[in-house]
Amino acid sequence: MGEQSEAILSLRPVSFRYKKEFDPSGEAQFGLVAEDVARVASELVVRDEQGKPLSVRYEEVNTMLLNEFLKEYRTVEELKKQIAALTATVQRVSAQVEMGRSAPQTVVDNH
């Protein structure tokens, strides 16, 4: 899947209500606008007989989301390792600086 799943990063979720004939309760729904999805990733929509976007293939969106999550997870894990290494370096340098400050100083007067 590689970079292909990055297309979902430009999708914008919306809230909406179905027309009364489709959902008499009129409860708020959450999702994506099929026309917007089609502009970003046409493979994520189902089209009607005229070729117009009809609905979103959410199972595919979920798979792409998982792929993007795993990529970010790996990035975070790598950053944690880098932070740990940098923290250890800072601690080591700080300890060396402290040792340098507490070492007795000898003054030689050659006059």
Per residue in 10-48, pLDDT (tens digit) is: 999 999 998 899 899 999 999 999 999 999 999 999 999
| pLDDT on residue 101 | 76
- H/E segment holding residue 64: helix 58-102
Average pLDDT, rounded, for the chain: 91
Is the pLDDT at 5 greater than 70, yes or no? yes
pLDDT reported for residue 61: 95
Torsion of Cα atoms, 71 then 75 then 77 then 78, to 10°: 140
pLDDT of amino acid 88: 96
* Residue 107 confidence (pLDDT): 65
* Whole-number pLDDT of residue 106: 65
pLDDT of residue 105: 62
* Residues 84-96 pLDDT 10s: 999 999 999 999 8
* pLDDT of 104 above 80: no
Q: Which region holds residue 2: left if phi is over 0, alpha if psi is between -120 and 50, else beta?
A: left
- State the CB neighbour count (10 A cutoff) for residue 63: 14
Q: Is the pTM of this model over 0.75?
A: no
